[in-house]
Chain A
């Protein structure tokens, strides 16, 4: 099966500019996650979708971050405006079973964002 696909792989922008990341999960996976990983740290959950519904967005900085998952398949994560502290790797993951409790996550290779 094809894995989780993310694009772009790298993005360099100036602060205050907008940026968007795209994710295509594994076919049939209803649960989709966006994580942020800072250098030398573990991933931190930003948002979790069950189909089209965002069921956990408590860690998403809503003043500048937004996400959508139209039709319950692909997802886009947007930052507007970007700040220097947003430099990180943004990882998308999907799982087949609803919720993370009993299902492994399948990760994409991430988008490395550098804000200058």
Chain B
């Protein structure tokens, strides 16, 4: 994509392990948001990190943002089978643009 990328495209881990997803973008941003999407459902907002923040936590989620590298990462600690879903980052300047997502499979 000319706008940015997420990697890996797919990730398979064992329950209890940590999962890390990365997002890169190409424009200046006001904030970056992470969303989760279960199969056949809409996106659900997980966390928003502003451009002047470097790290944010929410429960088992940890998000980092490096505006100098135009990149962000989402860490899910102690994963559960219920975390199986697609995860999307969205970066926002005047509109929210989404990456292509990471499909996470957590094996029981």
Q: State the A residues within 8 Å of B (CB).
A: 4, 40-45, 48, 56, 91, 93, 99-102, 104-110, 112
Residues of chain B within 8 A (CB-CB) of A101 are: 30-31, 92-94
Residues of chain B within 8 A (CB-CB) of A42 are: 88, 90, 98-101
List the B residue with the shortest CB-CB distance to A42.
Answer: B98
A71 to chain B, nearest CB (A): 23
Number of residues on chain B facing chain A (CB within 8 A): 24
Q: Check if B31 sits within 8 Å of A102, measured CB to CB.
A: yes
Residues of chain B within 8 A (CB-CB) of A100 are: 92, 94-96
Closest 7 CB pairs of A and B: A107-B42, A42-B98, A104-B45, A100-B96, A101-B30, A107-B43, A109-B42
Q: Is B78 an interface residue when CB atoms closer than 8 A count as contact? A: no
- B58-108 with Cβ < 8 A to chain A: 88, 90, 92-101
A106 to B96, CA, bound (A): 13
Residues of chain A within 8 A (CB-CB) of B33 are: 104-105
Q: Check if B101 sits within 8 Å of A45, measured CB to CB.
A: no
Residue of B45, B50, B93, B97 touching A105 (CB-CB under 8 A): B45
Q: Check if B40 sits within 8 Å of A45, measured CB to CB.
A: no
